[in-house]
Amino acid sequence: MVTVNGRTRTSPFDKTILPSGLFLKFLYEDDKDVEALKNEIESYNSDSNSGLISSIIEEKDKKFIEKINEYYIDNDKIKCCRDINYYFDLLNAIIKKSIVFSKKIQSDLLGKFEERWKKILQEKDVGICTRETDLDSIRKRCILKHLHDLKVDKDLIQVYTDEYKTYLTDIWSKIIGYTRPQLGGLYIKIENDSVGIIEEYTTFLYSLDYICDVDLSKLSTDDITISTDMDTLMNNISLERISPNNNKKECYNKFYIDMLKKKTSNIKKINNVLSLGIALLGFSLILILIYKFSPLGSLLRRYTKKKIEVDKNMNEEVMSELYNNSENEKSYISYYSVSH
């Protein structure tokens, strides 16, 4: 036995015992992985071998169904759906991203696969597994699955940290390669009343930092925003989503907290300016009311009126005196003749 981080390893890391992979054990039987599935599918790379590729996928489907029959209970409906959608998205990524298959083979393989699973889901009454196939929908499904997987696997993650990081690379690399843009970054924001995360898409799916000890059942794809512009996500943080209950468990990352502080600070500055403006306006209004309607205002008006009259009289006297002085000065002007 080996002790790691205060916990004891009783055996080597085994992907098939992960709670998150309850229905996906077939991918890791006989010490295989997702990369092995990709290589097996791509080994038949001619148009004439589409039937062989389809048979490989069909064999995997049968094993998947066996696991569903073995482990499925009503309480697992949502988790089963997440794993089914992951399997769909994984095969979609492997087949569409591959450069060895023609468009014809891609369409044929995925068409047969989708048709087969429609019947399976109808038989299992797992109608909740409706799925959109656009890239953002795939990304959001993967983000939700990753959060749920980390939460249920947290005990094993603490024991097998390095091995779990390698495992994440295996399960997500094919889908990331298909769903991330070729140029530029891709960023995500996850936000509800207990979760606040802003992160780069690939970094998030490869990270162990998001083990959220909160109720994730309330989290949906509607709470996830995806953008190529990080500033857009940061500027659109919603303060209304933050829970007022300080005792409630929350899951915020540093990016989100920093942006939350910045936005709160900006709002406080705006509120301070508005408060000052309102105070000045109120003070001005009080002065106007005092001036117009109070005894003091009446006294001020009389004083102002009297002062205006006095100033006016003084101005008239000054002007009169200036005029008289001007007339007097004229009488002293002499003209001298100059002899030639």
What value does the mean pLDDT take over residues 182-198?
91
Q: Which amino acid is at 176?
A: I
3-state secondary structure of 186: coil
Residues 184-199, mean pLDDT to the nearest whole number = 92
pLDDT for 277-331, tens place per residue?
Answer: 787 777 777 767 665 666 765 666 666 766 676 666 666 665 666 555 555 554 4
Amino acid at 119: K
**pLDDT of 249 above 70:** no
Q: What is the mean pLDDT of residues 245-267?
A: 74
| Predicted TM-score (pTM) of this structure | 0.74
Q: Is 158 a residue whose pLDDT tops 70?
A: yes
User: If DSSP codes are grouped into helix, strand and coil, which group holds residue 197?
Assistant: strand
Q: 303: buried, middle or exposed (CB in 10 Å: 19+, 13-18, 0-12)?
A: exposed
76 close to 125: Cβ distance less than 8 angstroms: no
Strands of the chain, DSSP E: 2-4, 7-9, 187-191, 195-200, 224-227, 251-252
pLDDT for 149: 96
Task: Tell me if 225 sits within 8 A of 191, measured CB to CB.
Answer: yes
Residue 2 reports pLDDT greater than 60: no
Gap between the Cα atoms of 215 and 251, Å rounded: 10
**Tens digits of per-residue pLDDT, 126-140?**
555 777 889 999 999
The CA distance from 142 to 199, in Å, is 14
